[in-house]
Structure 1
């Protein structure tokens, strides 16, 4: 009854991304051995005629490749971008170009460990509506964390994002990011969370930013980086509250005009990568 037997040996060394599998099938008239090492199959013996074995090999190969595509230390990163009327449409175009550049470079450095999203904010829903934050339509979100899109498609969606051109409800946007967007990530349970806030003025709901910090920043649930433009000194304390709870100048970037965004790109990317390694090792 048992004229064929199969032995499976699996070795996974994730630190060096080496995966080795040996499969041996035998019967009275057939010997077949296959090994899968670093993305390639090699065989010894007469494997082509063994259709059942071939199905096993294919299934195992697909399973391994899917497993290798799972990030070991996932990072969910949301760009929370001010779309208020003080920015202006030409500056908003500069922001979108900058977002495309930074997102592309970050994916190049962090690979499949990184999931990104862009959330543009401006207005909020009236309190009397009692609308849960997840049902709000006040945001422009060209793609979300779970959208497995090529960079070209992400770039197209960012560039096509309309400008909201109204107020500056920063706390409301941070609530949406933490209370809904992060929760939708397929890696929510094990991912680290990071927010990059890009704004040019005082938040319309500024007294509530401390509430956000104490709930999400101070507890380590989210790591935030703040980028301030224009007359940032007038709301510098708000940038500090978002980034570090007013405990210093860590993770704050300031520029005089939006055309200067490119001057901070490399340092910001290095800071994100450094912070990623720091928070994923704890």
Structure 2
């Protein structure tokens, strides 16, 4: 029995030795792990947190430079009701990206076809909710495409101080965004040049059947920053982020980033 007891005792001692040895390494490993975690945490705390790609949050973090902004939208016969609804959504999304207010960005909408209708002026709405309610109420005019007349009306009646535009001494940028899907039935070159000479920066957005040459005649220079084209009204909302980049003073993108007509 003695040899058996001696063997049993040796096994027990060896087991205690192994456990102690493993415990030592485990504790050493824990120490290394804690040290590594502490180092990683220190590095993490020393760097800015990653921003979540949430469109709403991203928009709220962007303060656009103050603008007197007038949308000039084509609602002629070729723009079907479902397509015009996409235009309204685009306008509402654009409003969401802007820093709207009487001392920030003011927004107006000029609606046109054969006739021109000023839906609301720069002085009418100074918060996003009121602007979006007014946008919902816009109805298509459903006749021809008098783009030149619309630009002239915007220049004379929407960009003046009586309508809410700030005086030149304030150095507030004046911007017109034209959205059209057709070829103008009147002349746009001369009236657009006149508007630009008055300090109005013109962006031209063409959809589907829009005439690219007309867009280029209307837009400010450089054309690659001021002319946009999308294949259908169904994807016009994608332009919101591009305008957001431009109006927030970031990298400007234009024709080179979109499908050509």
Residues 114-152 of structure 1, C-alpha deviations (whole Å, 9 max, x = no match): 11111111113xxxxxxxxxxxxx4141x2101144311
- Is the contact made by 1:140 and 1:161 (CA closer than 8 Å) also made in structure 2? no
The answer to whether residue 96 in structure 2 is matched with residue 120 in structure 1 is no
2:173 to 168, 187, 192: 192
1:1-282 alignment to 2 at 5 Å? Answer: 74-107=66-99, 112-124=103-115, 138-141=116-119, 143-183=120-160, 184-185=163-164, 187-189=166-168, 190=170, 191-205=172-186, 208-217=187-196, 219=197, 221-232=199-210, 235-244=211-220, 248-274=223-249
| Contact preservation (8 Å) 1:140, 1:162 | no
For 1:183-240, what per-residue CA distance to the aligned partner results, in whole angstroms no more than 9, with x for missing partners? 12251333321100000000010xx2111132222x26110011100023xx101111
Distance 2:158 2:137 in 1: 21
Q: Residues 102 and 265 of structure 1 are in contact (CA less than 8 Å); yes or no, is this contact kept in structure 2?
A: yes
Query: By how many angstroms is 1:95 displaced?
Result: 0.5
| Alpha-carbon separation, structure 2, partners of 1:211 and 1:116 | 25
The answer to whether the 8 Å contact 2:86/2:237 transfers is no
Partner deviation per Cα, 1:164-190 (whole Å, 9 max, x = no partner): 111110010100111111112251333
Aligned pairs, number: 184
TM normalised by structure 1 equals: 0.60
Inter-partner Cα distance in structure 1 for 2:192 and 2:88: 26
Q: Do 2:202 and 2:220's aligned partners in 1 also have CA atoms closer than 8 Å?
A: yes
Over aligned residue pairs, what C-alpha RMSD do you find? 2.5
SS in 1 for 2:224: coil
Q: Which has the higher helix share?
A: 2
The answer to whether the 8 Å contact 1:76/1:145 transfers is yes
Distance 2:223 2:66 in 1: 28
Tell me the distance in 2 between the aligned counterparts of 1:212 and 1:259: 30
Q: Which has the larger radius of gyration?
A: 2
TM-score (normalised: structure 2): 0.64
Runs of 4+ residues over 6 Å off in structure 1: none
